[in-house]
A and B are shown apart, each in its own frame.
Chain A
């Protein structure tokens, strides 16, 4: 009995020590090794509903790429990893993907500090990283470098465009409310800058910054309404729209005071908010599934919805997040095909300055900062016959050139960094 125990214990210890080695699968000698792309995103947690959409985009493009024969027979393999919306987790996954799975490219990470950390890691390991849903300006601004690219817009660009639009309205006294973290502050700052640039006589009569994840906005709403501003700007990151809009509707905010906020036009919110959806409020996106109603856009929408339906997501109209992921994949695959290689340096060279015809018109991956040049479409939420939920009407287009910082400004920011 005793010796059996000893053996058993030693066996356990040996298994325990050898455990890390088990998952090593020797690379099967394939003639055409796959092109591995590691997509890291928040697939669990509060932001998961968006991350999944971006992943659809990657998978769609990968399927098409592979169906067309890939790169000389080399097919794309997408490895998805969950970062739980935490920066250290994202970095850990990036490390595992690069060092253990030996991926060729990295992508994803909606959490901006995670994106910055992964970007830094990619730089040190000389791997191309395609950020597809992180909006912090610094990623392609002062912290940008050769190995990071971004296929979604920046908070700065969107905020400024919103400011330009707000300047066309007669409101003078604005109240700002938003999520108290980097994104909220940054988009509000850009909004105010853009607004004051076109309409210098506006006054910010108050600001409120509830914490991220706040569930009860009533004290903020009552204080806000008591201030009686001309208009309110909502600097929300995303899911905060749901409780805030619901509660604001209960307060009757949208009947009394004009409201402008980014992301509100996302089809997800129209679906989730239903009767609380603020008809009459102003919002915008860098991608709208119905505008411009070009054949390219219609085709993309149909393809996307078919794909999502196959995954069990019925009536899933593409959102901005879907498009960011999709464009990230498209830019990368087109660059691979253009360079006729999956080697990082070749792909980078092919990617810089690449212009693609897309559902949102021609989009360029600017060479000087590796940022996709997006326009912004902004208008008023209204029910339009023929559409399943309220969409935007009287849409104003703010072109990328008007609101994107110039190459010189970016270069100056990067030089100023220690």
Chain B
């Protein structure tokens, strides 16, 4: 089936915006793994909490103020929540087997899921967009939601901010060093505990931001946590666990695969990314951008 240039352009742009949300989420996940060597199954749960919190914020502060406030307040809240979780729970399991770590975060998923239900109930929730964001923008003859272009911009901004943080600050150097060689950091005298807490809080900040960003565009419901987690993990793996740019690459691939996949093989488009993930795991387990010399999990 021949495709016109315009469809290709349309799918390209929508693939990009999808990729950005995946990137924001997967970058936190991969950072946590890279530095702390912990797989956080509850990552999606923080995302869901972020979305629900955005609902609450916009309920308390109406109109555009509430919308923008959510972007600031929600990530801070999820960040704090992440800090609490890290200090109270995660810290105790760093030395334990991976199996037990995974089980703990698994348990967290259940707890969060029910907690959200107990606090916010089972109703469908909705966040409104300010009017200037709710319309569509004409790009080369195609209508695109203004909001998705905003998310695109947001993703790019975050990518830039992360680059600056990781490459231009001392803290960033520390994080990169820890991702490469965790033991070294402790040997150099830096308190690993504090580093871990900060990194985890960074990750939950990012994922809360993702939740708040996407809340106006989707249904906010229980089940959000598990819906996105599989793709998020796959993206992180494809890019290479521990590598933020890998997450970006993986997210772009996932976004494009999906948006073009539904044109070519609509029934199986959602499977493409998982198939790719499987191939990557078997052939190049450290991901596309991961180094082969990285320590085994």
Chains A, B in direct contact (C-beta < 8 Å): yes
Flag if B145 contacts A250 (CB, 8 Å).
Answer: yes
Q: Decide: B219 and A243 in contact? CB cutoff 8 A.
A: yes
CA distance A249 to B131 in the complex (A): 12
CB-CB contacts below 8 Å: B221-271 with A: 221-224, 227-228, 258-259, 262-263, 266-267, 270
Q: Taking the complex as formed, is A219 at the interface, i.e. its CB lies under 8 A from any CB of chain B? A: yes
On whether A246 and B18 interact (CB within 8 A), knowing A218-B148, A219-B259, A251-B145, the answer reads: no
A250 and B262 contacting across the interface, CB-CB below 8 Å: no
Specify which chain A residues have a CB less than 8 angstroms from the CB of B7 in the assembled complex.
Answer: 222-223, 226
Q: In the complex the two chains form, what is the Cα distance from A243 to B224 in whole Å?
A: 12
Q: A251-B144, A251-B145, A274-B126 are in contact. Are A215 and B218 (CB under 8 A)?
A: yes
Query: Residues of A contacting B164 with CB < 8 Å?
Result: none
Q: Is B10 an interface residue (CB 8 A)?
A: yes
Residue A315 CB within 8 A of the other chain: no
Contact (Cβ within 8 A) B222 A226: no
Q: Is the CB of B143 within 8 A of A251?
A: yes
B124 touches A268 (CB 8 A): yes
CB distance from A384 to the nearest CB of B (A): 22
Asked if residues B145 and A43 are in contact (CB atoms below 8 Å), the reply is: no
Question: Complex: how many Å from CA A175 to CA B149?
Answer: 26
**Which listed segment binds A: B100-108, B134-142, B199-207, B287-295?**
B134-142
Contact of A274 with B128 in the complex, beta carbons under 8 Å? yes
Docked-complex contact B11 and A239, CB < 8 angstroms: no
- Checking B21, B218, B227, B258 against A219 with a beta-carbon cut-off of 8 angstroms, the contacting residue is B258
Knowing A216-B21, A226-B6, the reply to whether A246 touches B216 (Cβ < 8 A) is yes
**Please, which residue of chain B has its CB at the minimum distance from the CB of A219?**
B259
CA distance A128 to B146 in the complex (A): 53
B11 and A275 contacting across the interface, CB-CB below 8 Å: no
**Which of these, B144, B217, B223, contacts A45 with CB under 8 Å?**
B223
Contacts of B126 in A (CB 8 A): 242, 246, 272-274
Residue tally, chain B, CB below 8 Å to A: 47
Partner of A216 from the list B4, B142, B218, B263 (CB cut-off 8 Å) is B218
Within 8 A of B (CB), among A17-36: none
- The winner among A215, A252, A275 for most chain B CB atoms within 10 A is A215
Cβ-neighbour of A49 out of B14, B123, B214, B266 (below 8 A)? B123
Nearest-Cβ distance from residue B56 to partner chain A, whole angstroms:
16
| B117, CB-defined interface residue at 8 Å | yes
Among A46, A52, A256, residue most surrounded by chain B Cβ atoms (within 10 Å): A46
> 0/1 per residue, A205-220, Cβ < 8 Å to B?
0011111010110111
Give min CB distance, B119 to chain A, whole Å: 14
| B284 vs chain A, min Cβ distance (A) | 27
Q: Provided the pairs A216-B218, A222-B11, A222-B13 are in contact, do residues A275 and B128 lie with their beta carbons within 8 angstroms?
A: yes
Q: How far is the CA of A197 from the CA of B143 in the complex (A)?
A: 34
Kindly state the separation between the CA atoms of A367 and B213 in the bound complex, as whole angstroms: 53
Which residues of B are found within 8 Å of A208, using beta-carbon distances? Answer: 262, 266
Complex contact B122–A52 (CB within 8 A) = yes
Verify A207–B217 contact, CB threshold 8 A: no
Known contacts A215-B228, A219-B14, A219-B15; A226 and B142 CB within 8 A of each other: yes
Most B Cβ at <10 Å: residue of A250, A252, A274: A250
CB closest chain-A residue, reference B117: A44
In angstroms, how far is the closest chain B Cβ from the Cβ of A19? Answer: 22
Which listed residue, A48, A218, A274, touches B122 by the CB 8 Å rule? A48
B221 close to A46 (CB less than 8 A): yes
Is the Cβ of B218 less than 8 Å from the Cβ of A243?
yes
Q: Is A225 among interface residues, defined by CB-CB distance under 8 A?
A: yes
Say whether chain B's binding surface is mostly helix, strand, loop, or mixed: helix
Contact partner of A218 among B6, B145, B221, B222, CB < 8 A? B145
Within 8 A of A (CB), among B10-47: 10-11, 13-15, 17-18, 21
Instruction: Choose from A43, A48, A180, A218 the contact partner of B17 (Cβ within 8 Å).
Output: A218
Residues of A within 8 A of B52 (CB): none
B196 at interface by CB-CB < 8 Å: no
B67 within 8 A of A: no
Given contacts A44-B117, A209-B266, A216-B218, contact A242 B124 (CB under 8 A): yes
CA distance A48 to B122 in the complex (A): 6
Contact B136 A251 (CB under 8 A): yes
Contact (Cβ within 8 A) B14 A272: no
**Contact at B217–A243, with CB atoms within 8 Å?**
yes
A368 within 8 A of B: no
In the bound complex, do residue A213 and residue B227 qualify as a contact, i.e. CB atoms below 8 Å apart? yes
- Contact, CB under 8 Å: B262 / A223: yes
User: CB of A400 within 8 A of chain B?
Assistant: no
Taken residue by residue from 154 to 180, chain B's Cβ proximity to chain A (1 for < 8 Å, 0 otherwise) reads as 000000000000000000000000000
Contacts of B15 in A (CB 8 A): 219
Nearest A-chain residue to B219, judged by Cβ: A242
Q: Which residues of chain A (169-208) have a CB below 8 Å from chain B?
A: 180, 207-208
Nearest residue, chain A, Cβ from B15: A219
Contact A215/B214 with A222-B144, A250-B134, A250-B135 known, Cβ cut-off 8 Å = yes
For A223, the chain B residues whose CB sits under 8 A away are 7, 10-11, 259, 262-263
The answer, yes or no, to whether A59 is at the interface (CB within 8 Å) is: no
Q: Does A358 contact B (CB under 8 A)?
A: no
Give the docked Cα–Cα distance between A74 and B17 (Å).
Answer: 61
Pick 6 A–B contacts, CB within 8 A, sort by A. Answer: A46-B219, A46-B222, A49-B122, A208-B266, A226-B7, A246-B218
A sample of 11 more A-B contacts (CB under 8 A), given A46-B219, A250-B146, A251-B143, is A43-B122, A215-B218, A215-B219, A218-B17, A222-B11, A223-B11, A243-B217, A246-B217, A246-B219, A247-B217, A274-B128
On B, residues with C-beta under 8 Å from A are 4, 6-7, 10-11, 13-15, 17-18, 21, 117, 122-126, 128-129, 134-136, 142-148, 214, 216-219, 221-224, 227-228, 258-259, 262-263, 266-267, 270
Residues of A with Cβ closer than 8 Å to B? 43-46, 48-49, 52, 180, 207-211, 213, 215-216, 218-223, 225-226, 239-240, 242-243, 246-247, 249-252, 256, 268, 272-276
